[in-house]
Homo-oligomer: A and B are copies of this chain.
Amino acid sequence: MSIIKTIENLEAWLTDADHRNRTLGLVPTMGYLHEGHCSLIRAAKADNDLVVVSVFVNPTQFAPGEDFESYPRNIERDYELAVDSGADIVFNPEAGEIYVQGASTAVEVSGEITKKLCGASRPTHFKGVTTVVNILFNIVRPDKAYFGQKDAQQALIIKKMVRDLHMPVEVIVCPIVREKDGLAMSSRNIYLGPEERKQAVCLNCGLQKALEYLNSGSDDSRSVRKLIEVIENHIKGQDLAIIDYVRILDGETLEEITDIEPGKTALAAVAVKFGKTRLIDNRVLSVEVR
């Protein structure tokens, strides 16, 4: 087992007699693995004969001024964690391996699904994500690929890309893994100062309060406007928290809704800045059909 850097070596591994014709799971990551990634790798190992973990900090999904340069990297530690969680190999290519000289082809999902939430503040982000995931799927050709519900919008967009383009891969979305106090795990959590770290739990708590309000039986408990207010009021109680967005949208298409309708899912999603660090979290909301 080893860290594979080139497509040529990966192809040799994939087509080796011991590996071909076996089921293959792919866990695409940007590295700096935490327990959230490890849960994806374990899920992949449970479903497939072989598991490839890719570690690639994709430059095209960062806009100028975002944290591409400073994004945390530690490939040796990633390798240990990946193997301990069940990975067979770690694929860690350079950008020039993924993007050939003069590459100018993009895969883009259009519509509300990419315009809302993080698409509003990061207009080129998802085009970078769908293009690199498409490339990774073509290189690795997995049977199944694993993504975290933490990046709920990303997961919806990738599922849509796969469906629209009829890509021969099944996308599996795994639950958010949280710290003991409820903060969603993220590679960016290490940016937080001690007081910011304490207050960062407000994303999860605010979402939890919305879920409780939805089930409270109040007259306006299904009102999106009211539920957003519940979340915002909670987050605003933290003096270091600066809200980027609090939105509740259709759980599949991310189109605007005014009420949580029985039998349908909605996605409550928040993005909050602490200093330069931008955190996201979400909860799928649904009302029981009685």
Residues of A whose CB lies within 8 Å of any CB of B are: 7, 98-100, 102-111, 113, 130-131, 134-135, 138-139, 141, 160-161, 163-168, 253
Contact = CB atoms under 8 A, between A and B. Distances in A.
A108 B164 CA distance: 14
The 5 closest A-B pairs by CB, nearest first: A105-B164, A103-B164, A104-B111, A138-B166, A104-B110
B110 A108 contact: no
B109 A107 contact: no
Interface of A, helix, strand, loop or mixed by DSSP: mixed
A115 to B, nearest CB: 11
Contacts of A98: 166
A106 B105 contact: no
Contacts of A168: 138, 141
Given A105-B164, A107-B107, 8 more contacts: A7-B166, A105-B109, A105-B161, A106-B110, A108-B108, A131-B165, A135-B166, A138-B168
B100 A104 contact: no
